Structure 1
Amino acid sequence: MNNYLLNPLVSIIIPCFNAEDFVELAIRSIMEQSYSNMEIIVLNDQSTDNTGKILKKLASEDSRIIYIENEKNIKLVDTLNKGLLLCNGKYIARMDADDVSRIDRIQKQVEFLEKNPDIAILGSAMQIFGEGIKEKELLNPTKHERIIAKMFVASPLFHPTIMIRKELVDNGIFKYDKNFFRVEDYHLWVKLSTEKVKFANLPDVLLDYRFLTNSETRLGEKNLAERIESHSKIYEIILHNNNISLNKDEIYLYTKTMSKNWIDETISLNCILNIYNKIINQSENKLIKEYLAKRWIYFLFRTKNFSIIEIKKIITSFITYIGIYSIIKDKFK
């Protein structure tokens, strides 16, 4: 049988900007993969440090590396979209310039996609490490139905772990939107969920994610107003897609319950409870209700100011029972 069919070409996109401290380790983790039929597309977005020099050195060592230098700094979203159009593989994988892929990452993802032709986008678990944090494994739901449900409260795939079928790019539906800068991946998953694209996550840890205080995600977290606004736009799309009606003020308040850094202690707990109940009452999906109920419980743990009346209402609320039951059930899986 044709070797291409047995071992299809995989394109790896690695956008790079001022990553001299980590980029060699990141790219070598791809060069040393157990799966070898790859093209490694590294895109230097006009780095001002030694990133370009390191990338050129690595390209001289490995003919699979394709070095691209942007004519000007075009930022992450445009660099990713540029990289997508350069890919020739049957599958396309993402990788950041400061993370480390486990040696069997590409092999496991290719094997899964070859065996499951209905899955178009595949992520995995990852381990977080880095500056001043305790290493821990981060998991996402593995099944499509749960991935779709989790979109109501958070991004259900870890962006640097994904592998997709190139046909999504060829069909013009896989493209990042720079109007959702720093949450471009989350927005894309939501958009693709309406295109009948099927998702999955492997339970295996296939990537070590480096926590950096100056990463795009961390920089986004520092600009709270911008980040809350971006997420509000995403939740507005999700709710609309599911025929759930909230006004803009309610969507904004709902968004502020999604992170401990966004919680406003001046907002009435009763008001938040009413918003959650409003969503649950308009949804017939049990998994969506489960994720919302768990998020409600996490929100309660992060909130400090309860009145006696509010405590009584919380205790007797159906969403509280669902949330506690779901969290306990998850612990004993």
Structure 2
Amino acid sequence: MTATEQNFSLLLPIYSGDKPSFLERAFRSCVDDQTLPPTEVVMVQDGPVSAELAAMMQQLIVASAVPTRLLVLEHNRGLARALEAGLAQCSFDVVARMDADDVSLPTRFEKQRVAIAGGLDLVGTAMFEFAEDDGSVIGKRIPPQGQEAIARYSRFHDPFNHPTVMYRRSAVKAAGGYIDVGLMEDYWLFARMIDSGARVENLQEALLMYRVSAGAYTRRGGLGQLTAELRLQKEFRKLGFTTPLQNVRNVIVRGGYRLVPVAIRRIAYRRFIARGFHS
């Protein structure tokens, strides 16, 4: 890659629920530990945060080896709007996503940037899942590989692990950007990108450690998420992304999943919703 082809922004949203120690580890894994660090970091503070978290953000900005700036949103606007605001502040077309409680493995950005330079618009990776309480690896999620397989898979499942992706901001914008749909703003974006002809791929190597918190499966259920799911499926049909039969299947299976008890939801998510999971 040329020097220009190596340039990219890191987009890191932060909100009040994030822990300072997790943020520090996430940030350093992306800036200090990478074989190809980002050219810049854009942190987005989504609403008020604790004094401890604010202090950690300032500490990281001051000590950062690459230019880092903070965009503060006065009120909590949700992930979709925070990402849209952050994307507008990125200096480069190529942008890597990162959450404030995960850990990027050392070669993540180098391998994704090579893939993007080769002509892709969106590149995700496999990821390890690790337990919040003791840090032990509890599984590995391997997404589909190849344009056709990803497109086929996306009719029922989110085909990318959102915290792992690197994409071209221009391709995200061409598809309409992030739109708030419950916890599924990424799935809706990726579906529109695929439908609009974006060139996509998933690296099969796990290049990120994804933190699984105690409330991960609770947040995926309830009437609010059922409403979001039904809205997403309606949008898929309006776009022509799914067939009538696929729509019925998705409403029954994915919609029903939102209403089952948490213990069952955990099993169902790994077995049916996130079928790329391998324990």
TM-score, normalising length from structure 2? 0.82
TM-aligned CA distance change 1:242 to 1:106, over 3 Å: closer
Paired residue total: 260
Shift of 1:231: 2.1
Q: Does 1:103 align with 2:106?
A: yes
Which residue is equivalent to 1:271? none
For 1:14, which of 5, 12, 19 is the aligned residue?
12
CA distances 1:179-217 after superposition (whole Å, capped 9, x unpaired): x02111011112222211121100111100001134xx5
Any idea what SS the aligned residue of 1:15 has? Answer: strand
Which residue is equivalent to 1:205? 206
Show structure 2 runs of 5+ residues with no match.
263-267
Shift of 1:131: 3.4
Conserved 8 A contact 1:14-1:41: yes
Structure with greater proportional strand content: 2
CA distances 1:105-159 after superposition (whole Å, capped 9, x unpaired): 11000011112x1x21110000000136752111001111111111122111000
For 1:61, which of 60, 63, 83 is the aligned residue?
63
Any idea what SS the aligned residue of 2:201 has? Answer: strand
What does residue range 129-140 of structure 1 map to in structure 2 within 5 Å? 129-131=130-132, 135-140=138-143
Q: Does 1:52 align with 2:54?
A: yes
Any idea what SS the aligned residue of 1:4 has? Answer: helix
Amino acid paired to 1:23 = L
Conserved 8 A contact 1:235-1:255: no
Which residue is equivalent to 2:168? 165
Shift of 1:251: 5.5
Q: Does 1:145 align with 2:131?
A: no
Distance 1:67 1:79 in 2: 12
TM-aligned CA distance change 1:236 to 1:22, over 3 Å: same
Which residue is equivalent to 1:120? 121
Conserved 8 A contact 1:44-1:51: no
For 1:224, which of 222, 225, 248 is the aligned residue?
222
Distance 1:213 1:229 in 2: 23
Amino acid paired to 1:261 = V
Distance 1:90 1:252 in 2: 36
Conserved 8 A contact 2:130-2:212: yes
Distance 1:248 1:141 in 2: 21
Distance 2:204 2:247 in 1: 36
Q: Does 1:24 align with 2:21?
A: no
TM-score, normalising length from structure 1? 0.69
Distance 2:36 2:150 in 1: 27
Any idea what SS the aligned residue of 2:150 has? Answer: helix
Distance 1:55 1:260 in 2: 37
TM-aligned CA distance change 1:246 to 1:138, over 3 Å: closer
Amino acid paired to 1:53 = A
TM-aligned CA distance change 1:131 to 1:28, over 3 Å: closer
Any idea what SS the aligned residue of 1:22 has? Answer: helix
Shift of 1:90: 3.2
What does residue range 226-305 of structure 1 map to in structure 2 within 5 Å? 226-239=224-237, 241-242=240-241, 244-246=243-245, 252-256=251-255, 261=260
Shift of 1:44: 1.7
Shift of 1:50: 1.4
Which residue is equivalent to 2:193? 192
Which residue is equivalent to 1:90? 93
Amino acid paired to 1:183 = M
Conserved 8 A contact 1:224-1:262: no
Higher-RCO chain (CA-CA 8 Å, sequence separation at least 6): 2
Amino acid paired to 1:100 = V
Conserved 8 A contact 1:41-1:68: yes
Distance 2:144 2:156 in 1: 13
Conserved 8 A contact 1:12-1:94: yes
Shift of 1:236: 3.5
TM-aligned CA distance change 1:23 to 1:249, over 3 Å: same
Structure with greater proportional helix content: 1
Conserved 8 A contact 1:17-1:51: no
Backbone CA RMSD of aligned residues: 3.0
Q: Between the two proteins, what is the percent identity of the paired residues? A: 23
Distance 2:261 2:245 in 1: 19
